[in-house]
Amino acid sequence: MDSNSLYNNTFLPEATQCNFEDLKVYGPFQVSYDEPLEHELQELYKTVDSIISSILTQKVVNSFCKQIFNYRIVKAESFIKNIFDFLYILLYKPVKFTYSPQFGINLWPGKLSYVRLPTIEKMIQPHVSLLFMDYITETTTFLRYHIKFRFNQKFDISFRKKFCRQVIQSLLMFSVSIKKMHTMKTGIQNALELIQIHQLRQTGI
């Protein structure tokens, strides 16, 4: 065996050698967590309520908006289309709370990007195996995504409306700081009207 081999005793201890030798799965694979016990569930409900309360604070919403608007929303090019797509997702797309230690939090995976929200992440980390049913990991890069949140039903329409209101307030506050209040206000009003028209067409009214 090459003296520089990864399996050489002088380089890796025996236990680590075994871990490398036993690794049969390369690439992404999914692992499930055990179901929480009854007494653990009671504590988890309190944790989830704290997470939701924190997500709805203006400080967290401001951070969320700043990071999201570093990128286009979906494939939108125009300002109005970005606002339309953004608010439509918040109001009408179900939340699928996802956590990655490497990338942060995502409430709408596949729709919006991951954001770093340290306050929320600190709440999640001690309870991650209880809050989520499973995770996907990448054995070559060690990226990890906790994808099935046990309490997504808590992010109901009431939550989405409150969150959307906070987001609009955040956008308006930002627009004041750059002296673009009228542009932002008009853009949001137009986007909300377009969303309403879109929904009426969808329901056939």
* pLDDT for 21: 42
| pLDDT on residue 40 | 87
Best CA proximity match to 160, nearest among 103, 98, 86: 86
Q: pLDDT at position 36, please?
A: 83
Kindly state the tokens that stand for 152: 């997504």
| CB-based contact 154:142 (threshold 8 Å) | no
d(CA 114, CA 107): 8
Question: Contact 132/81 with Cβ under 8 angstroms?
Answer: no
For 172, the token pair is: 């308006």
Q: Report pLDDT for 37.
A: 85
Mean local confidence (pLDDT), 12-35: 52
Quote the DSSP letter at residue 36: P
Residue length of the chain: 205
54-107, pLDDT tens digit by residue?
A: 999 999 999 999 999 876 665 667 888 889 999 999 999 999 999 999 999 999
Helix (H, G, I), strand (E, B) or coil at 144: strand
In degrees and rounded to multiples of 5, residue 167 shows phi and psi of -65, -45
Helix ranges, the chain (H): 14-22, 38-55, 58-68, 79-92, 118-124, 128-131, 157-177, 181-203
Domain ranges of the chain: 14-196
